[in-house]
Structure 1
Amino acid sequence: MGVFNKLELLDTTESYIIDSALGCIDVKENEITRNDLRDNLTKKYISQSALVNINTKISIYNFIVELLYTLQQAEAEKILFLEQETTLHEAIDLYIHCHMNEAADKFLPLAESGNTKAMYLLGDIYRNYSSVEFHSIGESWQKKGAYLQDPLCMISTIPNEDDVLIMEDIIEKLKDLSYQNDMFAQYELGYCYEYGRCVEKDAELAKKWYLTAAKLGHFKSMNKLGLLYAADRDYIEANKWYKLAGENGYNEGWYNLGKSYHYGIGVEIDSDIAIYYYQKSFNLHGNCSGEIANQIGLVYHEIKKENEPANHWFKRAGELGYSYGWSNLASSYENGRGVSIDIEKAKEYYIKAYDIGDNSAGKFANSIGVIFANEKNYTSAYKWFHLAAKDGFGWGFYNLGCLFYHGLGVEKNNDIAIYYYEKTSYIDSLKMLGKIYYEKISVN
């Protein structure tokens, strides 16, 4: 059993020994394969550590009898390492059917015992299907796997893709695993071809590897195929793959299918079907629940013209940390959609949206500034327009220009107004620049 265990270790936690040795050997010159090196190391282990004379000749019959007896004894004593493989397969089956909590419970002891496949998948669960505080834990598991030279963990965590030799080595290992029907390597290889990670971008090769993985049940590959077909405007095929991903338990599959019915992508617009698929996605409690809740709100608001349920879903989206949920709810209070106009509540919800601090913070800051400007509170308006401009939002610059042009809350200064207007290419900014320069000419 020690021999079997040594073979297992040389393929997992001790694989770095083989990698290091291969790195010191001219493989092409000596025609040594990875398996040759592993077998030679195992033979050394048999003769030196297990004290077995490998030159002793025995019949096949006696060998099989001895092997079966040893396996039986190992199973009885619960030292059979194949038990770990069984648990790994069970965990993977849970994972590919999107039962993430149950899968994580099985992956954790495997990862702790040094199984790098478990490290990769546990890391993926923590990074993509858990709350934010687990993201760093997931990354740390994959980094441990990368330290042990696992190519799946390495491609997920490698910080510097400029190291061409390392990246080429990882890609070759991913290809080797892919040809051995490893769906996770196939997905990662498809991802590399889709985005040009150490290989030339190739959408067709990306599709090929995603398709291969999808046929083995890999839900993310199914969804990726949908997105690639949508990019090619083959929306019927895209929706087929979204549906398959959803049926496999992947919330993003149902979400993308909901968007197709929401916006009429490859199908007729149907608000009820859109909501049906959005809610199927939402009920799976995936990593984009807030965005999905907001989309449900938009269907009620934009298509069904039912603002009360829209506001309910906008609020749920905000509570789940999606900034546009708060922003849309703020807009409802600002404009009296499904609620009485309440400017203070509008400010409160815009500020909640701004405080989330995502890429749209400048837009929300500008909305707050507009409310203050409408109230003629130009000092506060200036503060929020300045924050909007600081985040690069064009209307923040435009509105600052207007404050300086009209002297609202600040001293009138056309030069500063020009500075802010020139920060955008909006027609309104160009009109104001033309007006200022015309006034200068008229004065002269």
Structure 2
Amino acid sequence: MHTAVTPLTEALRPLAVTANRQKSGAETSQMTAEGEEVVKQAIHYHEQGELEKATVYFRKAAELQNPLGMFLFGMSLRHGWGCKANPNLAFQFLQKAAESAVFDLNHLNPGTSSAAKSELSIAIYELGISFRHGWGVPKNKETAAYYFEIAANLGDADAQADLAFCYEHGNGVKKDKAKSAKYYRLAHAQGVHIFGNSWVFKSKYDNVE
């Protein structure tokens, strides 16, 4: 039995936002700068293959309410990068990453919102992956497709390709070849190539809303 799809406004209840609002602007700025520096250190260790040390720093960044730190710590917990895999806790941190990115997206200047938008789309896409595979939450195709669509409309290429597949095969959504073609085309425009899908470029799928 599938659980109901939770609306984004409820699913991304801003726990991290509450923490940020309780701090002064100066404190938040300091946390932001410190968090960014810690993430850089963590990524350096990760690229050097020092996964345990990287995960320690990802966690520090997450504790500093850094969205990318939350996301990467969540991914570390999901896949067991330098730590014992913990799908349930991984999902919580991926959700917090999305919550924090939502806040940043709503409060950044227009010129700097693209980075937050990218972080948000990736975090939401990974929430969809969690529901698709049942990592930390009950497996639910409908909820997975729901998050894929949000991330796809925010511009994430992988989400666009996965959502296109969902519409093509009716996985979690009603089968719709026109919508499938639309999202395959969007993914293709960003460099995602799926072999055997030349049909998506047929003229009858042009100008799909």
Which category of TM-score, normalised to the shorter sequence, fits these structures? 0.5 to 0.7
The letter for the 2-side match of 1:233 is G
2:184–2:200 CA contact under 8 A, matched in 1: no
Deviation at 1:243, TM superposition (A): 1.2
The letter for the 2-side match of 1:318 is A
Counterpart for residue 295 of structure 1: 126
1:237, 1:370 → 2: CA distance? 47
- Distance 1:347-1:242 versus aligned 2 partners, 3 A rule: same
Deviation at 1:345, TM superposition (A): 2.2
Task: Determine helix, strand or coil for the equivalent of 2:173.
Answer: coil
Identity over aligned pairs, percent: 21
Counterpart for residue 316 of structure 1: 150
| Residues 263-285 of structure 1, C-alpha deviations (whole Å, 9 max, x = no match) | 22123333322211101111012
Structure-to-structure mapping, 1:122-201, within 5 angstroms: none
Counterpart for residue 220 of structure 1: 36
2:167–2:179 CA contact under 8 A, matched in 1: yes
2:93, 2:79 → 1: CA distance? 13
| Corresponding position: 1:240 with 2:63 | no
How many correspondences in the alignment? 164
Deviation at 1:349, TM superposition (A): 2.2
Normalising by structure 2, report the TM-score. 0.67
Counterpart for residue 176 of structure 2: 342
Counterpart for residue 251 of structure 1: 67
1:224, 1:259 → 2: CA distance? 16
- Distance 1:270-1:338 versus aligned 2 partners, 3 A rule: farther
1:268, 1:315 → 2: CA distance? 31
Deviation at 1:371, TM superposition (A): 4.7
| Residues 108-127 of structure 1, C-alpha deviations (whole Å, 9 max, x = no match) | xxxxxxxxxxxxxxxxxxxx
1:283, 1:317 → 2: CA distance? 14
- Distance 1:252-1:371 versus aligned 2 partners, 3 A rule: same
1:302, 1:370 → 2: CA distance? 28
What is the root-mean-square deviation in Å for CA atoms of aligned residues? Answer: 2.7
- Distance 1:313-1:301 versus aligned 2 partners, 3 A rule: same
Counterpart for residue 84 of structure 2: 268
The letter for the 2-side match of 1:333 is Y
- Distance 1:370-1:263 versus aligned 2 partners, 3 A rule: farther
Deviation at 1:370, TM superposition (A): 4.7
2:79, 2:57 → 1: CA distance? 18
The letter for the 1-side match of 2:120 is S
- Distance 1:290-1:367 versus aligned 2 partners, 3 A rule: farther
Deviation at 1:347, TM superposition (A): 1.0
Deviation at 1:368, TM superposition (A): 4.4
- State which structure, 1 or 2, has the greater radius of gyration over its C-alpha atoms: 1
The gaps in structure 1 that reach 5 residues or longer are 1-89, 99-216, 381-444
1:258–1:278 CA contact under 8 A, matched in 2: yes
- Distance 1:367-1:277 versus aligned 2 partners, 3 A rule: farther
Normalising by structure 1, report the TM-score. 0.34
Deviation at 1:240, TM superposition (A): 1.3
Counterpart for residue 4 of structure 2: none
1:351–1:368 CA contact under 8 A, matched in 2: no
| Corresponding position: 1:94 with 2:28 | yes
1:263, 1:242 → 2: CA distance? 14
The letter for the 2-side match of 1:263 is H
